[in-house]
Each structure stands twice: as structure tokens, then as C-alpha cells.
Amino acid sequence: MTLRQRILTGDRPTGPLHIGHYVGSLRNRVALQRDHDTFVLIADVQAMTDNFETPQKVRDNVLQVALDYLAVGLDPAHCTFVVQSQIPEIAELTVFYLNLVTVAQLQRNPTVKAEIAQKGYGESVPAGFFMYPVSQAADITAFGAHLVPVGEDQLPMIEQTREIVRRFNHLYAPVLTEPQALVGEVARLPGLDGGGKMGKSLGNAIWLGDSADELARKVRSMYTDPGHLRVSDPGSVEGNPVFAYLDAFDRDRAGVEALKSHYRAGGLGDVKLKAHLLGVLDAVLTPIRVRRAEFAQNMDVVEHAVFTGTRRGREVAAQTMQSARQAMRLDYFQADRFNTDRFKADLPSAAGRPTKETMTCTPV
Ligand code: ATP
Ligand code: MG
């Protein structure tokens, strides 16, 4: 029997998930979960790197993100939900990986560079934020992931991870798995404002849980082509987020092409075009919204999925950590030797030490 390939993906609990996540990564995860051993990380440690002053926001969003997972069809029977902060091995690996990257390498990371500019950090960027690609390498490798379904903005992180893995395996022993990125059908969905990327923290998102009214309001107020003033004016399709959303969600390809030609030629008004988009989005989002509301009535189920997933994640990460410690020659104390009764008898103060049984994962 061949071992199923592992998948690791994740999201920062900085807000609920949006339709960019859906086409960029969630759709892929749902399709792959049955044939892969899938781990989905709720990356609260990474969320803290730029939200450390508002920890309650991060905490509140952990279960919101889990709700979104269940709503889009990620199934805890196939897919392990893990809360990052409850896996100390990830932090431990991060510390060792930091030795394998240079500050210059981190400074070159185009996504982090853009995010530093967008957040206005300049020279005052928190060190934790600056080095989050390294912690992401720890996330991916802790679970031995082969595949990482991500949006385009994450490609530099996967490349950085691959470099760290190669370095580690070459220097110590080949114990880490080198992952591949898997970019979704839509690498980067623009925001409602036409901005480069829809983002949780950017105020330009359609949430998966938005009500029908909220969805309609957002679509109506979307940015289009500012030069398209009268219905009869020719309009621009490129850079127009309405068409980007139709490309991402409307299965009727020929219909979309016809709308594009009509818009370019003139005679197709924004109001009519947006009404069509609203119909398309509503058809995709209504079942998700309904499932989300059902799970929201039953938060115990959501918490249980997160708790059991995190416990399983901890076991897998602990195995990786053990191999990594052996590879780095840092495996001084072997658990078996220290757990024998003979050893305990020699050490009167051993009574209060944590044992395997007293070590548990804390539920969120
Ligand atoms: P934040 O603004 O807090 O960074 P975010 O919207 O960028 O939030 P993340 O949690 O950082 O969301 O990203 C989770 C995953 O979703 C990543 O794989 C990312 O590439 C993907 N993703 C996020 N936004 C988009 C988008 N607009 N289009 C396609 N994929 C996206
Ligand atoms: Mg992001």
C-alpha cells in the first residue's frame, strides 16, 4: 500500500473567509480531501504577527474560520483542522530554521515586502512579522506535506520552504519533505475596490457568510470601469473586478465571453452586468451560507472538530520534531529510558514530572 500524499494549507484567523479563499484555495482543498491526508492549519500564531495588540480578535476568528471550513464542505472525517498555537513543535522548528536563512533572503521576499509597504511598517516592522515565511516553512514541514494548495501571494513562501528543506536535509539528514505549491484555478481574486487582491484585512471582501442583502449591496457598490459612464460607452474588461468574478464563478464560459464582447463594444450597462453577477454569486454562496448558519447553531460540533484535529496534528508534528532532533544530533534524552520504573525509583523528585498521560492539548 502506498502512503497517501499529505496536504497542508491554512488561513490566518484575522477575519472570516472570503470568496477569494474559495476560488484560490478552498475549492481545491474540498476536491482533494478524499484522496489525500489533509491538514488545515488555523494559523493564529501567524495572525498574531500583525495583530498582537488585538489577541481577542484572533481568538474570536479561530472558530469563525473553522465554521467557514465546514460550510464549504471540508469534512473532519477526511481533513484534520489544527490550531497552530497549540503545536509547540512548530515554534521549535522555526527557531532551528531561522539559522538556515539570511536576513537578505527574507528582505527579498516580494509578498512580505508588499505587505510591509501596505501596512506602513517601514523600518519598524515587527521581527515576528518579518520572519513569518520561516514559521510557515515550519508549518508545512511539521506535517510532512507534499502539496500546499495556495493563492499566488504564497508562492514565495513555498519557494522559501523548499530552500530551507534542501538546506536542512543536506546539512543534517534527509528527514524533511520538500513540498510543491498547488495554485487554485484563480491565483488571485481582486477586491471589490478593484485592488490587486481581495484580503480579509483590506476591507474589500465578500465574506462566505454574507447575507443575501449584504451580498447584493456589495455587488451594487463594486468598482467597475470608471470611464464607462453611459450605457452606450465602450467599457474595459481588463482590470474590471466584475469580469474577474465572472471568470472565477460563472460556469457558462460562452456566456461570459458574449458579455465581455458586448461590454467592450458598448451597450451593456453596469447595473445589468452586476445583476447577472449577483445571480451567479448567489447560486454559489446560498448553500454555503445555509450550511454555515446550521453549524453556527451547533458550535460544539465545530469546537470538537478543531479539538480532535489539533490533538492529531500534535502527534504528527511531534514525530517530525523527533526526526529533526535526531538529524541535528539534539536527541539527548530518550523517553523510553527515562520512563522506566527503575529510573523513577532512582529519582525521588520525579513524581511531579509531566508524563505522557498528563500532556494534553488544550481545547480552544
Ligand atoms: P490577511 O489580509 O489577514 O492576510 P488574507 O485574505 O490574505 O488575509 P490569508 O489567511 O492570508 O488570507 O490567506 C489564506 C490563503 O488564501 C492563502 O493560501 C492565500 O494565498 C489565499 N488567498 C487569500 N486571498 C486570496 C485572493 N484574493 N485570491 C486567491 N487566493 C487568496
Ligand atoms: Mg494574507
Across 134-183, the runs of DSSP E, i.e. the strands, are 147-150, 180-183
Q: Which residue has the cell 480552544?
A: 364
Report the pLDDT value the prediction gives residue 195, as an integer from 0 to 100.
81
Cell of 12: 490566518
CA–centroid distance, 338 to ligand 1, in Å, is 45
Is residue 198 lining ligand 1, measured as CB closer than 6 Å? yes
Cell of 202: 483590506
> Which range, of 27-31, 48-52, 255-259, averages the lowest pLDDT?
27-31
Report the pLDDT value the prediction gives residue 184, as an integer from 0 to 100.
82
Report the pLDDT value the prediction gives residue 364, as an integer from 0 to 100.
46
Report the pLDDT value the prediction gives residue 68, as an integer from 0 to 100.
97
Alpha-carbon distance 253 to 181, whole Å? Answer: 27
Report the pLDDT value the prediction gives residue 258, as an integer from 0 to 100.
97
Report the pLDDT value the prediction gives residue 359, as an integer from 0 to 100.
45
The mean pLDDT value of the chain amounts to 92
CA–centroid distance, 20 to ligand 1, in Å, is 7
SS3 50: coil
* Cα dihedral 61, 65, 66, 70 sign: positive
Mean pLDDT of 30-53: 96
- 361 has pLDDT over 50: no
- 88 has pLDDT over 90: yes
* pLDDT tens-digit map of 296-345: 999 999 999 999 999 999 999 999 999 999 999 999 986 666 665 655 55
**Max CA-CA distance within the chain?**
90
Is residue 154 lining ligand 1, measured as CB closer than 6 Å? yes
Is residue 197 lining ligand 1, measured as CB closer than 6 Å? yes
> Which range, of 184-188, 211-215, 280-284, averages the lowest pLDDT?
184-188
Is residue 20 lining ligand 1, measured as CB closer than 6 Å? yes
- 168 has pLDDT over 70: yes
Ligand 1 atom index nearest CA of 11: 10
Check residue 122 and give left, alpha or beta (phi > 0: left; psi -120 to 50: alpha): left
Cell of 269: 450597462
Q: What predicted TM-score, i.e. pTM, was given to this entire model? A: 0.89
Domains of the chain: 6-191+299-326 (3.40.50.620), 212-292 (1.10.240.10)
Angle between helices 155-171 and 88-97 (to 10 degrees): 70
* pLDDT tens-digit map of 126-135: 999 999 999 9
Is residue 76 lining ligand 1, measured as CB closer than 6 Å? no
Report the pLDDT value the prediction gives residue 152, as an integer from 0 to 100.
87
Q: Which residue has the higher pLDDT, 92 or 123?
A: 92
CA–centroid distance, 247 to ligand 1, in Å, is 18
Return the closest-CA partner of residue 317 out of 176, 218, 208.
Answer: 176
* Cα dihedral 35, 188, 246, 264 sign: negative
Count CA atoms within 13 Å of residue 23 on its CB side. Answer: 23
Cell of 291: 450550511
* pLDDT tens-digit map of 23-34: 988 998 999 999
Contact 149, 7 (CB under 8 A): yes
Is residue 150 lining ligand 1, measured as CB closer than 6 Å? yes
Mean pLDDT of 249-271: 96
* pLDDT tens-digit map of 219-252: 999 999 998 889 999 999 999 999 999 999 999 9
CA–centroid distance, 52 to ligand 1, in Å, is 19
Among all ligands shown, which has an atom nearest to the Cα of 188? 1
Is residue 153 lining ligand 1, measured as CB closer than 6 Å? yes
Q: Given pLDDT bands bounded at 50, 70 and 90, which one contains residue 358?
A: very low
- 196 has pLDDT over 90: no
CA–centroid distance, 199 to ligand 2, in Å, is 7
What is each CA distance from 83 to 10, 13, 238, 299, 324, in whole angstroms? 10, 10, 39, 16, 21
Cell of 70: 465546514
Is residue 325 lining ligand 1, measured as CB closer than 6 Å? no
Query: What is the residue type of 362?
Result: T
